[in-house]
Amino acid sequence: MNRLEGKRSVVTGGARGIGYAIAEAFAREGSDVAILDCRDEDATRAARSLATGEVKTVAATVDVSQPKSVEAAFAQIQSAFGHIDILVNNAGIDTNSLVVDMPVSLWDEMMAVNLKGVFLCSKAALPGMIQRKWGRIINISSQLAHKGAAEMAHYAAAKAGVIGFTRSLAYEVIRDGITVNAICPGPIDTELFRNIPPLWRERKLAELPIGRAGRVDEIAPTAVLLASDEGSYYVGATLNPNGGDVMI
């Protein structure tokens, strides 16, 4: 407990699923938490549910694919918190299509949210971290970045890009006291996963050695580790809580 006491964290896509579980775990560890989400009501509700006498929370609406939206949200958070210590880039979308049938717009949307959004939010958080010589950036990728999947080429490509971005940024900022790492969850029982077509979901679950989807509370401890001083020697790493879908 209290491994993040005195820290100020930002979790994008923090109103539900893995993002909310991470935000909740951070709050339990003593961090103030800002919830960023594309839906204002959801962000506000999530932030209120985590606020206590010891933990301050803030809600902000953001479209992570749009620079001006990201700039406005981070300005709001910095005004409320003073600075940002920890950023979790979790916001993302999930759609299905064979490449031969995929509209270019579907590909572009995936790259804008799942990859460009990681870049924009990291860019917004970095100046303050560099100035203070301390920071943690945790990017949520996917096990599909390692193995791919039919009908998910755009998703796997974006998530593989997140890993490449993570490693490259880690080289740039580690000497400034900032660690950058990625988490690659396997199939997790979230709204996003449940919205995938049932046949695809059933095939995926049948492949898993563990035989089931994961829970969000099985992912959050990895984020706590990477955010805390205990994770200080992880640099450009990719951690893989995925039920055995990819054994690395």
Q: Which residues belong to the active site?
A: 155
Let me know the angle formed at the C-alpha of 18 by 73 and 66, rounded to the nearest 5 degrees.
30
Q: Is 95 left (phi over 0), alpha (psi -120 to 50) or beta?
A: beta
Rounded Cα distance between 110 and 204, Å, is 20
Beta pairing class for 8-12 and 57-61 = unpaired
What number of other Cβ atoms are within 10 A of residue 212's Cβ? Answer: 10
Pairing of β 86-89 and β 135-140: parallel
Of 18, 14, 114, 128, the closest CA to residue 64 belongs to 114
What is the C-alpha to C-alpha distance for residues 186 and 245, in angstroms, rounded to an integer? 7
